[in-house]
Structure 1
Amino acid sequence: MKKIGILGGVGWASTVDYYRAIAEGAGRFFAERGHGSPLPIPPMTIESVTQAKTRALRGTPGDEESWAAFDVVFRDALLTLEKAGCDFAIIASNTPHARLHAIRQGVSLPILSIFDETARATAATGATQALVLGTMVTMQARNYAETLSTHGITANDTLPDSEIAEMQAMVDEDFYGGASNRARTRLLEFCNAHAEPGTAILLACTELPLAFPEHLDAVSFEAKGHLFINPSAAHVAAALREALQDERAAQPG
């Protein structure tokens, strides 16, 4: 198995869930192939950054230089994973992916992009319209819209700044450290107000899927009349495919 590097801490709850999902997914893989207990999981190293620090270092959209200190924190974390002997890395957060083009400079370790995996998962549902929900950085950036467009999907990026700020507040107040019933209600109210019928709603903050524990490992699912895409689950599935590549080849099916 390949060794996975997880860059986590933004925030800690989703980092825990990434580890759990990878471990359980690997367990299912080997159980289905008749492997006895204890079921193997890929070797992993987690490098956890401090969210309070990275939040304070966020730059201004369109001003590359203002993001330099933010980029360095994540680049150094990836270099630590590289030195730890990881074969590839995943960043267990949507927000830093908006800076992936800069963060990965000088890093030779392959990094699986959450944008690419989410776009493929969204396209697989047949949806042609998407609503991207997440932090202010994620919603203001064009990364998801541009990646989705290569699959013939238009992202709804017309929300006013006040609504984007409301979503950021929701993440900070209701989802940090997990998700309460209030968080789920507040999220669904936002979806009801902004998602047209047939829209794929991207839960593009790794804490947001925690509002739907019954669907936590589903890449796509329906709930309360909406179609949701879970970028975290798509990302984890890609990491498992990469980590278990040799085992799949050795044990067809």
Structure 2
Amino acid sequence: MQTIGLVGGMSWESSAVYYRDLNLGVSDRLGGLSSPKLVLSTVDFAELSALEDEERWQQIGELLADAARGVERAGADFLLLCTTTFHRVADQVEAAVDIPLLHLADVVAEEVLSHGVDRVGFIGTSVAMSDGFFADRLARHGLEAVVPDARHHAALNSAIYDELVHGRVVDATRARVLGVIDELWDEGVGGVLLGCTELELLIKQADCELPVYPCTTLHVAAALDRALAE
């Protein structure tokens, strides 16, 4: 079994989901007392959020690269960033270590395309939706990402940062997000990406007729495939 390296803390709710689901996944696959080999480094989300507000992405990349180097020194065989938004600096992080980075967008694109879908809705933080770094990475695989109308971005960002990262799951917020997903469906997408770990706390497939692709769940499954490959 390979050792999975995690850079988390963005938010701790997201890191907890990764840790839990990796453990549950190994237990399901191997049974008994089996659990994954993990190295986890978490950063101060308040510090990174302040830098994000100031668009100081170079410094964010340096902080995450330093965390990744620590994970590598601790014995990780490959690396995951437990976040979507901060994949904006994934190339900088990847360049700082000698172990592979399992990029979230690559994993998601492979899964969505395997279902015959080539146009998908993408909801996440304002940065992830408006910056284009994640959609551009998906496009390398031939997958088109459609983001919600800009008038929804502030409300979606607020749902993530003001509620979900604090573990608050609000029914009224769920209804608003499902309304946004319906608009994307009207635009002809074949599914929707939950492009933020915390959104998986709010939206389930049972809530939505459109196929839902939970990015974190897919990331975890790909990490387990890699770690347990013979």
TM value normalised by structure 2? 0.90
The reply on whether 1:238 has 2:203 as its aligned counterpart is no
Partner of residue 41, structure 2: 47
* In 2, Cα distance between equivalents of 1:206 and 1:222: 17
* Correspondence for 1:202: 193
2:88 and 2:7 map into 1 onto residues whose CA distance is 15
Offset of residue 222 of structure 1 = 5.9
The 8 Å contact of residues 164 and 198 in structure 2, kept in 1 or not, is answered as yes
5 Å-filtered alignment, 1:1-253, equals 1-31=1-31, 37-38=32-33, 40-58=34-52, 66-157=56-147, 159-160=149-150, 162-182=151-171, 183-196=173-186, 197-212=188-203, 221=205, 223-246=207-230
**Greater share of residues in helix:** 2
C-alpha distance in 1 between matches for 2:135 and 2:143? 8
Tell me the alpha carbon deviations over residues 32-56 of structure 1, each in whole angstroms, 9 at most, x when there is no partner: xxxxx32x11211210111111011
Amino acid at match of 2:225: R
Q: Shift in Å at residue 60 of structure 1? A: 6.9
Q: Residue 58 of structure 1 aligns to which amino acid in structure 2?
A: E
Partners of 1:91 and 1:97 within 8 A in 2: yes
**Matched residue pairs, number?**
228
Q: In 2, Cα distance between the equivalents of 1:178 and 1:227? A: 24
Deviation, 1:59, is 6.6
| Amino acid across the alignment from 2:49 | R
Spell out, residue by residue over 1:135-174, the C-alpha distance to the aligned partner (whole angstroms, 9 max, x if none).
12211222332233344332114732x3222211111122
**CA distance in structure 2 between the aligned counterparts of 1:158 and 1:27, rounded to whole angstroms:** 37
Aligned-partner Cα distance in 1 for 2:131–2:72: 27
Q: SS where residue 167 of structure 2 aligns?
A: coil
TM-score where L is the length of structure 1: 0.83
Cα drift, residue 239 of structure 1 = 0.6
Q: CA 1:68–1:152 in structure 2 vs 1: closer, same or farther (change >3 Å)?
A: closer
2:145 and 2:225 map into 1 onto residues whose CA distance is 27
Distance in 2 (alpha carbons) for counterparts of 1:157 and 1:186? 15
Cα gap change, 1:98/1:48 in structure 2, threshold over 3 Å: closer, same or farther?
Answer: same
Q: CA RMSD, aligned part only?
A: 2.0
Give me the whole-angstrom Cα distance separating, in 2, the residues matched to 1:60 and 1:201.
Answer: 29
Cα distance, 1:158–1:192 mapped onto 2, change above 3 Å: closer
Structure 2 spans left out of the alignment, 5+ residues? none
- How many Å separate the matches in 2 of 1:224 and 1:101? 34
Identity of aligned residues (%): 27
In structure 1, how many angstroms separate the alpha carbons of the residues matched to 2:118 and 2:202? 24
Distance 1:43 1:201 in 2: 31
Alpha-carbon contact 2:83-2:197 (below 8 Å) kept: yes
Which consecutive segments of 4 or more residues in structure 1 shift more than 4 A? Answer: none
User: In 2, Cα distance between the equivalents of 1:179 and 1:123?
Assistant: 33
Question: What secondary structure sits across from 2:211 in the alignment?
Answer: strand
Any gaps of 5 or more consecutive residues in structure 1? 32-36, 216-220, 247-253
Instruction: Give the Cα separation in 2 of the matches to 1:91 and 1:54.
Output: 14
Instruction: Output one character per residue of 1:90-146: Cα deviation in whole Å (capped at 9) or x when no partner.
Output: 111101112111222221121110000011111122222211111122112223322
Tell me by how many angstroms 1:7 deviates: 0.8
